[in-house]
């Protein structure tokens, strides 16, 4: 066995729900592996299997590119990137199983769907391969089956959107929700947080439909909603930027003035959305920061070194509630 391949031992959960994996080196080298991503003295690369979502919009592109730019050979890693086929979970499960069979050192998982991962995670655990969740969580959330989840807090982010909406409409109004695909944990989390933020607001929910994270579908779904309600919709909560940008197109084509007749709030904070906020085409954008590759790198090294890791690492994200706020950050926006 090379210095790269080590015996992994699950240490268990700490009281705060942290999970760590301990690895004892098979070689007797004993050199410092910190400078090469944990690959030891032999110079071999740490293999990372990345079970990814693949094409799904600007946020996902930025996130997955950031992971690929972080886990490089120069950093001591061989990243095996496996995007889903047409967002199909089965293709992800197949890729996950292949990575276990190959004996990669660690698996990064961005799940297309929240449920259905127990068998795969148990397979990795039996093979003593640590798994780190990126962005999306799993249901049921059994923290004994993975090291940690790295992501912004969907519930808290959406709660801030709801609180903003409640404050913007003290006298009430009609609102609709454009959701991501059914079965994705983030959809449930964003609904939960948004409703908590609304509290006892006088806003009245007219409808909620999926638009599959798509600007095109966001436009067509909101067009249908407007026609069904004689344009009597004052607020749109779009669970991602693309759907919100599509809704903005539909509103303008219906003759509505954004900011006056209807307000649109989105989540993600992509450059296109920030530009739209600066131009008055959106009303509120809450960032869902995708750039956490360095955090993932740190967690991978800790997991392979047997250090304890919190079961959920929250990625800080900002809210932008005005054109001025958007303009202030646009020049330096990285995604």
- Architecture per CATH, domain 7-150+290-316, reads as 3-Layer(aba) Sandwich (3.40)
Tell me if 264 sits within 8 A of 243, measured CB to CB: no
pLDDT confidence of 43, banded at 50, 70, 90? low
Mean pLDDT across the chain, nearest whole number? 89
Contacts of 328 (CB under 8 A, 6+ apart): none
Q: What pLDDT is attached to residue 183? A: 76
Cα–Cα distance, 80 to 103 (Å, whole number):
12
Q: What pLDDT is attached to residue 4? A: 36
Q: What are 286-307's pLDDT values in tens digits? A: 999 999 999 999 999 999 999 9
Does residue 3 have a cis bond before it (omega within 30 degrees)? no
pLDDT cut 90: percent of the chain above it = 81
Q: Angle at CA 177, nearest 5°, toward 171 and 179? A: 160
pLDDT cut 70: percent of the chain above it = 87
Q: What pLDDT is attached to residue 58? A: 87
Q: What pLDDT is attached to residue 30? A: 34
Q: Do domains 7-150+290-316 and 154-288 have the same CATH topology?
A: yes
Cα–Cα distance, 174 to 207 (Å, whole number):
9
pLDDT confidence of 184, banded at 50, 70, 90? confident
**Domain boundaries in the chain?**
7-150+290-316, 154-288
The CA distances from residue 78 to 30, 44, 73, 332, in Å, are: 22, 9, 6, 30
The answer regarding whether domain 154-288 maps to CATH 3.90.1640.10 reads no
Cα–Cα distance, 291 to 300 (Å, whole number):
16
Tokens 């259905």 label which residue?
116
Cα–Cα distance, 222 to 177 (Å, whole number):
9
Chain center to CA of 316: 12
pTM, two decimals, is 0.82
- Residue 157: phi and psi, rounded to 5, are -60, -50
- pLDDT greater than 70 at residue 20: no
Contacts of 49 (CB under 8 A, 6+ apart): 80, 82, 95, 96, 98, 99, 102, 104, 106, 107, 108
């Amino acid at each position: 066995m090379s210095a790269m391949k080590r015996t992994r031992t699950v240490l268990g959960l700490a009281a705060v729900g942290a999970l760590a994996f301990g690895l004892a080196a098979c070689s007797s080298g004993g050199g410092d592996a910190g400078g090469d991503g944990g690959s030891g003295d032999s110079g071999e690369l740490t293999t990372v299997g990345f079970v990814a979502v693949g094409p799904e919009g600007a946020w996902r592109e930025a996130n997955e590119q950031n992971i690929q730019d972080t886990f490089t050979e120069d950093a001591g890693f061989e990243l095996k990137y496996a995007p889903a086929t047409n967002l199909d979970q089965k293709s992800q499960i197949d890729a996950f199983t292949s990575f276990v069979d190959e004996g990669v050192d660690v698996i990064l998982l961005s799940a297309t769907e929240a449920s259905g991962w127990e068998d795969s995670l148990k397979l990795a655990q039996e093979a003593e391969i640590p798994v780190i969740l990126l962005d999306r969580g799993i249901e049921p959330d059994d923290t004994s089956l993975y090291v940690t989840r790295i992501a912004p807090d969907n519930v808290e982010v959406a709660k801030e959107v709801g609180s903003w909406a409640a404050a913007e409409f003290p006298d009430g109004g009609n609102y609709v929700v454009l959701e991501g695909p059914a079965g994705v944990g983030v959809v449930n989390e964003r609904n939960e947080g948004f409703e908590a933020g609304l509290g006892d607001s006088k806003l009245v929910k007219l409808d909620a439909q999926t638009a599959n994270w798509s600007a095109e579908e966001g436009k067509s779904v909101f067009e249908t909603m407007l026609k069904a309600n004689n344009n009597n919709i004052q607020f749109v909560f779009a669970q991602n930027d693309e759907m919100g940008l599509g809704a903005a197109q539909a509103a303008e084509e219906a003759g509505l003035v954004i900011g006056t007749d209807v307000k649109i709030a989105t989540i993600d904070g992509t450059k296109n959305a920030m530009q739209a906020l600066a131009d008055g085409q959106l009303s509120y954008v809450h960032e869902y920061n995708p750039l956490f590759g360095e955090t993932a790198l740190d967690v991978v090294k800790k997991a392979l070194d047997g250090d304890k890791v919190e079961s959920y690492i929250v990625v800080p994200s900002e809210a932008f509630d005005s054109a001025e706020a958007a303009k202030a950050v646009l020049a330096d926006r990285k995604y």
